Structure 1
Amino acid sequence: MFPALATHSTVFARTLPPGLEIRLMRESDLKAYKALRDAMLARHEEAFTSDAAAERGREAASYRSRLSGAGHCLFTLLAWDGRQLLGALSAECDGRAKIRHIAHIVGMMVDEAAQGRGLGHALMQAALALLAQDEALQLVTLSVTRSNTPARRLYERCGFVRYGRLEGAIVLPDGRQLDKDLMVLRLRAPTPAA
């Protein structure tokens, strides 16, 4: 489905500061991915739909489904500085014919120590470039917690526009309800019906 997934493990290295690398997640990365994800969920419960307490008990191997090739139009990109994992982004699609033209960005995260270095933008651009290789894909969606202004602005800079809001989308352990902005980016014009 994605030729670059099979032939290139590193993408967009030329646009990153020296020492940084963005590549597809490998089996050997699962423990580092789980550690980053657990830390981000614990520190930013308002930014993620997943619950930190529930996810903490998951085994690293349970994230194998996020490896490229594990499912239809599914991959996870990781951003590394040497041996330190700084960020991640997953993309997925549904294989059903009527919605096969839509991809979803899920689980975007950049460690606080790496924020402000353009890593989130680089992860998103790498993901969009891989998704654009699939000529059947027309739309890419994501949701972002309404109060997460830096993330929302990043997505807007990448070309996403808000098309709706889901009020009370997540309920935090303390009972607060947070809204999610629903955003979309058009990769290409719709294919005319035959």
Structure 2
Amino acid sequence: MPNQDMSTDPPIKLMRLADLSAYKQLRDGMLAAHPQAFTSDAATELKRDADSYRGRLSGGGDGANLFTLCAWAGPRMIGAISCEHEARIKVRHIAHIVGMMVSDEMHGQGVGRRLLERALTLLQGEPVLELVTLTVTSSNTRAVRLYEGCGFTRYGRLEGAIKLQDGQVLAKDLMSRRLR
């Protein structure tokens, strides 16, 4: 891969309250265009208002959400990734990546990798965290390769994890990566 001028890469920033409408717009579009890639369904999520995503802000949802990172092309959000964890003592060392998405026109341009790498860097900065998990639709080979390339390994597969409206049933790979 040729060296890229990093100054031309879309900026990645922590999501703020003012970004919730852009986040909802990106999410609604991705859920509608790629129902097989997400556990959430477009029809249900479309009914939510932008403010309902406040829990995805840093520290949102009683601290369960560590952060959401967003990639931008000018004023338009083109990608996002959220990281969550639980406060329960026995599992507070585990973080979970959820809601990874990159707009279709940006696929293959490294936005997803940059979002994931930045998220992993932030997670490694949290002393209590030791492990990060995620799920990915098994047939989404591009995403599986991205996660494997960033050090994730599959520890299981949940057959029949997603059932689409058309009756199609899909498996989810369960993946994890050590942070330390």
Please classify the TM superposition score into its range, dividing by the shorter chain length: over 0.9
Alignment: residue pair count: 175
Matched, 1:25 2:15: yes
**Among residues 85, 92, 101, which one is paired with 1:93 in the alignment?**
85
Number of the residue aligned with 2:159: 167
In structure 2, do the counterparts of structure 1 residues 149 and 131 end up closer, same or farther at CA, with 3 Å as the change threshold?
same
| Contact 1:32-1:85 within 8 A present in 2 as well | yes
After TM superposition, list the pairs within 5 Å mapping 1:89-128 onto structure 2.
89-128=81-120
Task: Tell me what 1:66 maps to.
Answer: 56
Label 1:19 to 1:118 Cα distance change in 2 as closer, same or farther (>3 A).
closer
Q: TM-score, normalised by structure 2?
A: 0.94
Counterpart-to-counterpart distance in 1, 2:9 and 2:110: 14
Q: Return the offset for 1:72.
A: 3.6
TM-score, length basis structure 1: 0.87
The runs of at least 4 aligned residues of structure 1 exceeding 2 Å deviation read: 14-17
Percent identity (aligned): 59
Task: Indicate the RMSD between aligned Cα atoms, in angstroms.
Answer: 1.4
- Which residue of 1 is the match for residue 121 of structure 2? 129
1:77 partner amino acid:
L
For 1:162, what is the secondary structure of its paired residue? strand
Shift of residue 134, structure 1, vs aligned partner = 1.0
CA distance in structure 2 between the partners assigned to 1:156 and 1:87 by the alignment: 19
Q: In 1, Cα distance between the equivalents of 2:69 and 2:76?
A: 14
Say yes or no: does 1:146 pair with 2:151: no
Deviations 1:70-120 (A, max 9, x none): 124521000001111110000000100000110000000000111111100
- CA distance in 2 between partners of 1:99 and 1:43 (Å): 34
